[in-house]
Structures are given as structure tokens and as C-alpha cells.
């Protein structure tokens, strides 16, 4: 028996490029959500959880329209957050990221992710399929947890809007990363949300 957790980042939200921290999905974000919903429509989900933020809640609603047997529930453990701060292990290239982040925000994020790992990475009985619709940092942290990588490495793991990552645990075995940021369901023009990369 295996416990599967499907991790989906919310769709692109409206006016995200203008610096708004939350909002409804953009038309592109709605298409992204519809396509991940189609991709996952055959999975027998036991539960669907989403961040309380609007962009994640709307993504969950679009999925639920294609999966009438599930009722998405909100979880504060899936809020967007910053789970670690700047310490000696963090490469200096990441220093600018922490410029506007307060110690209180980091402490809250660290505590939230500890609780999220305890809650969601707890072994369930029998064959279980859970879906978490959340944010880049939360997915990065849970994947990092599964890989048992150093804490700061969550910053090197990124997910596109409505990208799919899957982790799983067979009875008596450690958690395993099955797939990370799978975008096969999204055409190229809908693959948004990843950091800019420049060829060497």
C-alpha cells in the first residue's frame, strides 16, 4: 500500500506582474488550472487541500468542477511563506531575496513548515491519494524534506504555475520523489512562473 501526495502550484494570478501578492486567476491561470484538472481527473483522491489565498482557492474550485466526488478544504498550513532565513550556509547570491523579509516572517514560516511536514508527511493507512494545491515555497520545502537536503536548498527548487510534483511512501520505506514540476499537460505558452534562466 502506498501513500501518494500530489503537489500542485496554483495557477497564474491576475496582475501578478504588477506586484500584487494575491488575486483571482488570470485567463492564462484558469487555462492552466483546467489542464491540470484534466490530467488528474482519473486519480481517486481521498482528500484535496488548498492554501486559503485566493489564487490557490480558485485553482482548487476549477479542479473540483472536474472531480465532483471531492470537496476541497482550506488549510492554513499551505499558506505562502518563507521557511528559512539568511545564515552561514546560504550562498551569497540569495542575500537580496531576504532584504525585505522580517525575522518574524521567517520564524512564522519555519514553524508553519514544521507543522505542515508533521501533518502531511504522516503515513496514512492503506492506499491513499492526497492533493495539495499550494505555493512554490511550500512545495519546495516538502520536496526538500523528502530529499533530506539542507534547509536552504528549498530556494533551488522551483515549480511552474500548475506544475505537478508527486511524492510517495510505501509502507516501511522512506518518502520518495516520483516526479518534480512535470509540465507535460501544459503547452509551452502556459509554462509560467519559473525564474528567468539564461544560457551559458
pLDDT at 157 exceeding the cut of 80: yes
Contact between 137 and 153 under an 8 Å Cβ cutoff? The reply is no
Overall residue count recorded for the chain in this entry: 200
Mind listing the pLDDT tens digit for each residue in 29-52?
999 999 999 999 999 999 999 999
pLDDT at 18 exceeding the cut of 80: no
Instruction: Map residue 176 onto helix, strand or coil.
Output: strand
CA distance 55 to 23: 6
Task: State the pTM of this model.
Answer: 0.94
Q: What number is the average pLDDT over the span 168-181? A: 95
Query: Who's near 163: CB < 8 A, 6+ residues apart?
Result: 8, 9, 181, 182, 183, 186, 193
Q: Angle at the Cα of 144 (from 152 to 54), degrees rounded to 5?
A: 90
Percent helix / strand / coil, the chain, rounded to 5: 40, 20, 40
Between strands 2-9 and 164-170, the pairing is antiparallel
Query: What's the order of all strands across the beta sheet hosting 73-74?
Result: 73-74, 47-50, 128-134, 2-9, 164-170, 176-182
CA distance 37 to 178: 19
pLDDT of residue 23: 83
Task: Work out the burial of residue 48: count CB atoms within 10 Å of its CB; fewer than 13 is exposed, 13-18 middle, 19 or more buried.
Answer: buried
pLDDT band, residue 85 (cuts 50/70/90): very high
pLDDT of residue 124: 82
Residue ranges per structural domain of the chain: 2-126+133-190
Q: Quick one: which of 62, 20, 11, 18 has its CA closest to 41? A: 62
pLDDT of residue 172: 87
CATH architecture of 2-126+133-190: 3-Layer(aba) Sandwich (3.40)
Amino acid at each position: 500500500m502506498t501513500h501518494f501526495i500530489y503537489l500542485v502550484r496554483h495557477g497564474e494570478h491576475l496582475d501578478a506582474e504588477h506586484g500584487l501578492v494575491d488575486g483571482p486567476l488570470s485567463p492564462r491561470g484558469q487555462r492552466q488550472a483546467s489542464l491540470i484538472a484534466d490530467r488528474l481527473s482519473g486519480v481517486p483522491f481521498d482528500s484535496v487541500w488548498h492554501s486559503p489565498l485566493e489564487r490557490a482557492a480558485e485553482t482548487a474550485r476549477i479542479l473540483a468542477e472536474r472531480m465532483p466526488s471531492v470537496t476541497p478544504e482550506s488549510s492554513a498550513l499551505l499558506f505562502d511563506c518563507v521557511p528559512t532565513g539568511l545564515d552561514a550556509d546560504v550562498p551569497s547570491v540569495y542575500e537580496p531575496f531576504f532584504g525585505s523579509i522580517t525575522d518574524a516572517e521567517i520564524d512564522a514560516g519555519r514553524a508553519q513548515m514544521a507543522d505542515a511536514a508533521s501533518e502531511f508527511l504522516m503515513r496514512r493507512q492503506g492506499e491513499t491519494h492526497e492533493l495539495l494545491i499550494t505555493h512554490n515555497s511550500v512545495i519546495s520545502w516538502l520536496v526538500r524534506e523528502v530529499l533530506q537536503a539542507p534547509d536552504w536548498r528549498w530556494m533551488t527548487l522551483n515549480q511552474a504555475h500548475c506544475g505537478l510534483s508527486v511524492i510517495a511512501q510505501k509502507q516501511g520505506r522512506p518518502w520518495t520523489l516520483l516526479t518534480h514540476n512535470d509540465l507535460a499537460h501544459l503547452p509551452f505558452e502556459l509554462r509560467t512562473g519559473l525564474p528567468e534562466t539564461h544560457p551559458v
